[in-house]
Structure 1
Amino acid sequence: MTVRFHVTPYNPMLWMDENNVPSEPPSDLHIKFSEFRERLTEFGEMIREVNWDIKTHSDAGWEVTADSNWGVSGSFGGHLNQILTMEAGLGLNEFVAWYRSFVPSEHALYLFQEGEWESLELREGITVEEIANFTGIT
């Protein structure tokens, strides 16, 4: 079974009360996929794997793979591409740390597993170890 994680600029607890669901996310964050695609090479350089490859797709999807069994993939959706959905695997924690540095610090970000309410606030400077402790991926 595939485990998915999401990163959003709002705490998923906002949606816990079905009678008080916001009509749209309370954030003006706008992820421009063209800019994300251009900057994704920074992540490839950061991972320090010998041979890494980046693929992007026209539907705002992407994947980064390396020599080993290492890789991460995902896609953007929702209002202004604010919802990042990723499949769990080796590389997810490092990618989430890089993504926090990609998104301007004035925007809060929260990481949570699909179907769960508990989230990790991705504050500026969060470490890969802190993210791994939350995701359980090591």
Structure 2
Amino acid sequence: MRINQILLKTTKNQYDIGLVILRLSVGSLMAIHGIDKLSSFSVYSSQFSDPIGLGSKTALGLVILAEFIGGLTLCLGLLTRFFSFLIFVTMAVAVFVAHGQDPFAVKELAFLFFLTSFSLMVSGAGNYSVDAFIDKKVNP
């Protein structure tokens, strides 16, 4: 095998494995953020910011939906583009509105989630996912 084949070519299988790793990494870290907010809902709801005017409890509920439920579904590769979009919007609000005036170091993690969720919106879940399994059943 020539060096340019090793360094420059990507097989479909390698691409799909990369997506699994990305989904599991982003999804599990997102779920960890969400479970913290879910388990301490009463504490967070009294101090949670309401940057888009929905009320702090509603805003917190939507963030939990995106982070915890979205994170779990990303790990499975279930409704990946939909939940990636929810995470993308949630992180956009975190980066550009809630932490808009903060230094980059404060919003760096949210920005990373913002970018990776966008990547998953574009690419989808890949072949090793519930989405692919459903697609193969629906479109044999």
The verdict on a shared fold, with TM-score over 0.5 as the criterion, is no
User: Looking at CA atoms only, which structure, 1 or 2, has the larger radius of gyration?
Assistant: 2
Higher strand share: 1
